[in-house]
Chain A
Amino acid sequence: MVGQMLLAEFYSFL
């Protein structure tokens, strides 16, 4: 299975 990652899994919210 291939899942779509979210940006927040890599970058933090300011």
Chain B
Amino acid sequence: MFEARLIQGGLLKKLLESVKELVTDANFDCSESGIALQAMDNSHVALVSLLLRSEGFDPYRCDRGFSLGVNLNSLNKILKCAGNDDIITLRADDNSADSLSLSFENPNNDRIGEYELKLMDIDQEHLSIPETDYDATIIMPSAEFQRICRDLTVVSESVTIDVSKDTIKFTAEGELGSGNIKLKSTSSIDKPEESVNIELGQDVSLQFSLKYLMNFTKGTPLSEQVILCLSEKMPLLVEYKMDIGYIRYYLAPKIGD
């Protein structure tokens, strides 16, 4: 028996919006500790990894490991039927369950919608991603990161990210010209969510596809801050932290000959 009741059901709606562009089908791996998902995009260039801890649900019940294979577009369509303030409950009966039950309760508890989503067998490749000490870690407003990606897409398909002592610089060069945005590290005691924090072991310069970064910024509504972790010649980690877990995106760099 698997049952997970999420008071902030709107969070699940936002989460699906933030992964559906990148991944079509994925397994939700449910265990005592919570719900996890790891999936690569079709081109094997980007990966999304999300975790929802069991403590974030009320109640949460999972007797043993469940792997629920879901078409994310279908799940997203059903979740659009839930109100933003609804309480969402997910249920599956046993490991051979061929469907996932979803119920949507409104805050007054006088309207309850019930849906069934057919599950599928998904044979998914998982990558082992070790804990990494990154050369540079940047915490910045998520809306600012989204704006930078959107603005530089006008100029080029790629962006170079340079991090030095107290500055992060985003540069794009394309056929029409070039553009760059520099952000200096700032600290705001009153509004820490608006500050740019740079932790640097050594300078980093890496190039990435803006198309994927634009997809990652679909996670912006999940958190006011985004964390960027970079190491020379390593994939970029883009993380949005939530009260009940996180969503992490990994993107392989572009590297010259």
Residue from B125, B126, B129, B252 in contact with A5 in the complex, judged by beta carbons closer than 8 Å: B252
- The distance from the CB of A11 to the nearest CB of chain B, in whole angstroms, is 4
For B130, the chain A residues whose CB sits under 8 A away are 11
Q: How large is the interface on A (under 10, 10 to 19, 20 to 34, 35 or more residues)?
A: 10 to 19
For A2, the chain B residues whose CB sits under 8 A away are 158, 207, 254-256
* Alpha-carbon separation in the docked complex, A4 to B107 (Å): 47
Q: A3 contacts B255, CB within 8 Å?
A: yes
Q: A1 contacts B256, CB within 8 Å?
A: yes
- Which residues of B from 25 to 48 have beta carbons under 8 Å from A? 40, 43-47
**A1-14 interface code vs B (CB 8 A; 1 in, 0 out):** 11111111111111
Q: A1 contacts B257, CB within 8 Å?
A: yes
Q: B209 contacts A11, CB within 8 Å?
A: no
For B235, the chain A residues whose CB sits under 8 A away are 5, 7, 10-11
**Least CB separation from A1: chain B residue:** B257
Q: Dominant SS at the A interface?
A: mixed
* Alpha-carbon separation in the docked complex, A2 to B235 (Å): 15
- The distance from the CB of A12 to the nearest CB of chain B, in whole angstroms, is 5
Residue from A1, A4, A14 in contact with B252 in the complex, judged by beta carbons closer than 8 Å: A4
Q: How large is the interface on B (under 10, 10 to 19, 20 to 34, 35 or more residues)?
A: 20 to 34
Q: B254 contacts A7, CB within 8 Å?
A: no
For B250, the chain A residues whose CB sits under 8 A away are 7
* Alpha-carbon separation in the docked complex, A10 to B254 (Å): 13
**Least CB separation from A8: chain B residue:** B44
**Least CB separation from B250: chain A residue:** A7
For B125, the chain A residues whose CB sits under 8 A away are 13-14
Q: Check if B234 is an interface residue, CB within 8 A of chain A.
A: yes
For B126, the chain A residues whose CB sits under 8 A away are 13-14
Residue from A1, A3, A7, A14 in contact with B44 in the complex, judged by beta carbons closer than 8 Å: A7
For A8, the chain B residues whose CB sits under 8 A away are 44, 127
Residue from A4, A5, A13 in contact with B127 in the complex, judged by beta carbons closer than 8 Å: A13
* Alpha-carbon separation in the docked complex, A6 to B207 (Å): 13
Residue from B127, B209, B255 in contact with A12 in the complex, judged by beta carbons closer than 8 Å: B127
* Alpha-carbon separation in the docked complex, A4 to B252 (Å): 7
Interface residues of A (CB under 8 A from B): 1-14
A-B contact pairs, 17 of them (CB 8 A): A2-B254, A2-B255, A3-B254, A4-B209, A5-B45, A5-B235, A5-B252, A7-B45, A10-B234, A11-B127, A11-B128, A11-B129, A11-B235, A13-B126, A13-B127, A14-B126, A14-B127
